[in-house]
Structure 1
């Protein structure tokens, strides 16, 4: 009886040891799998973060900005494609921490590192997307104003030849009418030039926030159009004054001639 009892107890101990060993092996296997998959996911997220942080943008333009936004949208989709894996690691990390007190601290540190990297990457992508959206709206307004202002400048016909004014009284009248029309048109559109200049400056400020972005071309483009506007404004005003003086002189001459003939 004693031998049977000892044998039964020995079997129980062996079973217990076997169970403990199996549990230890299962825990070790889970820990190995957890660390491997964590390293793989962490590397993938870090690569996405690096791409988001170092995406170059050298020649600003509406199409280029739209392409840039699509790039960050794709990075967002790529990050989200790893969401299932990230959740698996959270769940398995929680189980590991509960099953082995010695591993709990290390598991929590691993999970914390992954979560921090994930959130930083997500935030970076969001900031880049918001920046692109702001720039796209500014660029659209800038280009609309540029088109409108350029249209006004191009619609101003070559200013009247002074020699023709001296010969033709009717030409003088048409020239005065044309110049007055140009002055009125440009005065009514001055607010667009002011807005264009303001939007251009906003664009410059936002573009300077992007590393390696060359905004000089756009700056020169803006300054050239504003200079053209000022040139046309000054020329139209000056020519109108000259035509008026010529017209007055012609009137005096014609009046004197008429008086002498009488």
Structure 2
């Protein structure tokens, strides 16, 4: 299934995308797409519905982030071997973890707003993992059983804030609108191998990132096992698992960063596409 949330900001309704590309309304069956309905039993009930009998949503509504009400948005840094090489940094011994503020999360096609004073706003296509049931001290062998599904994330980053303002990477990762998520959550039964997905990102129609989850240093299962040994992962929590090469910071001979009116197209094989326009904050 492809689960989604549609409607204006703060008034999103639950839905799913059917096989013909039509959004079907799920409001009669669930209140919203949240961690509370992402367990296997709840998802099985939705799978059993007659999709064709669900109300079709007219027009082309705005899509919100594909999951609501999660307790945390976790990100893994420097998790692709080819991106580490691009950055000239050593491969880490353990997953590098930072958090993105929940207030950064927006819909997949919402504008990305550069904060005041930003001159180093960058892009990062990433595989998002949505947790489906409480996970604590989970083994690598069992880890994927705790996944509800997968989605596209753009880990937008302000590199000067991230690297020059001292403290934590979170400063450059948590600006408002810096977490486009979706367009939909693809349930794990439709993603048999999360380590074999192609990934791409274009800026103004020019290909910047081409990669594959096959070059992850730490797999999805390893990341879940590692994080669940440090903290409880709750249903609906999102893990953004790192980016392949081609970020603006790594461009040669000089870095390239986003400007107002730039357009980003972001997609992952089988998980859908995002499109964001960039603008400056007022």
The TM-score, its normalising length taken from structure 1, stands at 0.19
Which one has a larger percent strand, Structure 1 or Structure 2?
A: 2
Larger radius of gyration: 1
Which one has a larger percent helix, Structure 1 or Structure 2?
A: 1
